[in-house]
Structure 1
Amino acid sequence: MLDSFQIELSGVPIYLQIRDQMLQAIGAGLAKPGERMPTMRQVAIALRVDLNTVKHAYDALARTGAVEVQPARGTFVAEHPPPLDLAMQKARVNDLAHRAIASAKTIGADPLQVARRIIEINAESGGQE
């Protein structure tokens, strides 16, 4: 799973990049429910980042309910997705929107152009607006 992870100098905090890439891996089925996640040390070494940064990412993952921390055993992909919390969902969408805007500005792109492209890609993949 860690083979595809990479840290970018995009202005997005490293712990968020790690959290988001792990969420993507879980969503894509690369890490299945009940499966043990890589240790924080393994992630830190593979990505060449500070162990505290990885701990921050794992703590954020646990807060989302995507993983479960079992003391003395490790961190595991949650068996069941967390229940839908509308306030938390709204906060996540806002967080994602702010990160998309920051990323767009970092590369000199117009955030509205990025938003339009997201809608186009979603429509092309059969998604709804």
Structure 2
Amino acid sequence: MVEPFSNAQPIYVQLVQRICRQIVSREVQPGDKLPSVRNLAVQFGVNPNTIQRVNMELERMGVVESRRGQGIYVTEDTSRLTLLRAQLKEEQITRFTNEMRELGYTGEEIVAGVQAFVNAQR
């Protein structure tokens, strides 16, 4: 089942984020071919033009490479993928920290809470 889209962001941005997460989590490996525009459009229930825009954005970011006549492939540039991983981590930490601060937690309380959570997961 496909995760529903939020009204907070354009659909193409949400799809870019989903694909980046799949790449960072290694669901999609470096060098893997992405499904065709038509297949992705059907999979996500969106217009093929939306998928074209997603592919253009991913290529602009250096996350994928277009190979004429062959399709779209995840880059094998490990430095680019390492940078993407660091960017996603930073975004998640920023979002979480901002929400916790809005709830009134101090930096020390946030760190202690995260540390306790991580230790409990071991």
TM interval, shorter chain, is 0.5 to 0.7
- Describe the superposition over 1:69-91 as per-residue Cα deviations: whole angstroms up to 9, x where unpaired: 11110000100142899xxxxxx
Q: Quick check: which has more Rg, 1 or 2?
A: 2
2:58 is matched with 61
Q: Which has the higher helix share?
A: 2
1:15 is matched with 12
**Number of residue equivalences:** 107
Cα contact 1:15–1:56 (8 A) shared by 2: yes
Secondary structure of 1:8 counterpart: coil
Sequence identity of aligned pairs in percent?
Answer: 23
Distance, in Å, in 2 between the alignment partners of 1:57 and 1:122 is 36
User: Structure 1 stretches (4+) deviating beyond 4 angstroms?
Assistant: 118-126
Structure 2 alignment gaps of length 5 or more? none
Letter in 2 for 1:112: E
Give TM-score scaled by structure 1 length. 0.63
Give TM-score scaled by structure 2 length. 0.66
Q: 1:27 aligns with which of 21, 24, 29?
A: 24
Structure 1 alignment gaps of length 5 or more? 86-91, 101-108
RMSD, matched Cα: 3.6
